[in-house]
Structure 1
Amino acid sequence: MTETADDTVSFGYENVSPEEKTRRVGEVFTSVARKYDIMNDAMSLGMHRGWKDRFVKRVKPQPGEQILDMAGGTGDIAFRMADRGANVTVADINQDMLDVGAERAMERRETDETGSLVFTRQNAEAVTFASNTFDAYTIVFGIRNVTFKDKALAEAYRVLRPGGRFYCMEFSTTEWSGFREIYDVYSEKLLPRMGQAIAGDADSYRYLVESIRKFPTMPEFERMIREAGFVNTKYESILGGAVAIHSGWKV
């Protein structure tokens, strides 16, 4: 079903106005920005690093390419792509997340082979870049927080050049029997407690869990990507679908 601006939208398990969701998601990431990377290590037992390496291998960034890393926040994906020589524009709607990423970029030792990094505040539903600008568009663990995902996908399609590629990594629902039940208990009961202990914020990580539960299934999200105009769409599941890498091409 296409999302419309007149509908309420989900903020975790609540239904709120689009404006309320945008505001509250902003508050979540402002709250967790400084502890975001530490919490990623704690929540995934460090596995997110391998997932991100795998994701970037799928993207295959090339020297000199122009890549838009949407919801790029603290720069984890952008740094990996810049290390391969790509010129990466890191975009995020939350300035606090961008500030953390920019600080991390300043601390990095750059080499002559490293591509460029630019940080800019952008709304994924209405980016300010011209059409047919980028060779690749990436978004990692971010699109489930976008109020209108169909608008974000349409913008991704618009700003890509013909032949450009779309890659998204997002949490999904694991299909492994047995593991699914363990994962549910871990995420529902333990993650908010970890958020409180490490980041001083249980509510933001309770929202994280709820937003994953409300996100479309892998086949449903692939359909949304196709409806945005992309072709050769597919998805690759990790941990039985707890994480999924989606991809598509603009022709």
Structure 2
Amino acid sequence: LLSSRRVVSRVLSYPSSLASLHSHATSFGFQQVKEEEKSKLVGNVFTNVASSYDIMNDVMSAGLHRLWKERLVGKLSPFAGMKHLDVAGGTGDVAFRIFDAVNSVKRRALRKVDEASLEETQIYVCDINPNMLNVGKQRAAERGLRDNKSLVWALAEAYRVLKRGGRFLCLELSHVDIPVFKDIYDLYSFKVIPNLGELIAGDRESYQYLVESVRRFPPQERFASMIGEAGFEKVEYENLVGGAVAIHSAIKL
């Protein structure tokens, strides 16, 4: 929970009963694993990359991830007194941007925000990996859906916890459908990124998984349909960088 005076982070864990109900195979990158094993495997990946996560985002995207996140926050248009839930928030990168936007002197002047409203602003950052949250805590003292075992379950939970009128936004690496750019993007993803992971983070396998998990994530139209099937209305998405990144948005009516 981010407020104007304190930061508290909470870990969002999957219900323990979920694993006992299912033992089907699911994807871990391009591998097939048991559903109950995926959370541990994904957790290990982000435990390994947590300390170098932010710098690798800068290197892999040439700093563009900062613009994508600013675009996401711009679409959210946060205001003082608003409650935010950042699921799979990792090191709190998006949450801190929301916090900064709410506390923007210019925005406060335009909206005539008082200190009481700022105090009521709440930003919850949830992640299954405590190492990622610890990095966020360190930043506070001085960042998906892609890795869920079941997207259907995750979207249902998002719908459940939002109030009516609440907005759902998801920023994810996605699918490029421009022929020449797609070939370049695939070459960069599978040949360059794992090597960067080994060079900078000392972990090639984790970044190989991250690249593979992006390819296994549903294409933009399919994911939009899944959001609608979860109960959301006014589902839209915006492609950035030719579809390499997509922002999906919807409303719970």
Q: TM-score range by the shorter chain?
A: 0.7 to 0.9
* Residue 88 (structure 1) aligns with: 123
C-alpha displacement of 1:73: 1.4
Say if 1:30 and 1:97, in contact at 8 Å, map to a contact too: yes
Q: Secondary structure at the match of 1:178?
A: helix
Separation in 2, partners of 1:24, 1:39:
20
Q: Which residue among 128, 131, 134 is the counterpart of 1:99?
A: 134
TM-score in terms of structure 1 length: 0.84
Q: Secondary structure at the match of 2:164?
A: strand
* Residue 213 (structure 2) aligns with: 211
* Residue 196 (structure 2) aligns with: 194
* Residue 111 (structure 1) aligns with: none
C-alpha displacement of 1:195: 0.1
For each residue in 1:66-108, what CA deviation from the matched residue of structure 2 results, as whole angstroms up to 9, or x when unmatched? 100011111110001112334200000100000000110111x
Query: How does 1:81-160 map onto structure 2 within 5 Å?
Result: 81-85=98-102, 86-107=121-142, 142-160=144-162
Separation in 2, partners of 1:74, 1:63:
22
C-alpha displacement of 1:244: 0.3
Amino acid paired to 1:28: V
Query: How does 1:1-251 map onto structure 2 within 5 Å?
Result: 5-85=22-102, 86-107=121-142, 142-251=144-253
Separation in 2, partners of 1:100, 1:74:
5
C-alpha displacement of 1:5: 2.9
Q: Percent identity?
A: 53
Say if 1:169 and 1:244, in contact at 8 Å, map to a contact too: yes
Say if 2:23 and 2:36, in contact at 8 Å, map to a contact too: no
Aligned residues: 215
Separation in 1, partners of 2:132, 2:139:
11
Unaligned residue ranges in structure 2 (runs of 5+): 1-20, 103-120
C-alpha displacement of 1:223: 0.6
Separation in 1, partners of 2:81, 2:166:
14
For each residue in 1:144-182, what CA deviation from the matched residue of structure 2 results, as whole angstroms up to 9, or x when unmatched? 111111111111111111000000011111112211101
C-alpha displacement of 1:6: 4.0
Amino acid paired to 1:212: V
TM-score in terms of structure 2 length: 0.83
Separation in 2, partners of 1:203, 1:66:
37
Amino acid paired to 1:90: V
The structure showing larger relative contact order (alpha-carbon pairs under 8 Å, at least 6 residues apart) is: 2
Amino acid paired to 1:188: F
Q: Secondary structure at the match of 1:73?
A: coil
Higher helix proportion: 2
Q: Secondary structure at the match of 1:89?
A: strand
Separation in 1, partners of 2:78, 2:123:
10
Aligned CA RMSD, in angstroms, stands at: 1.1
Amino acid paired to 2:125: V
Find runs of 4+ consecutive structure 1 residues off by over 3 angstroms. Answer: none
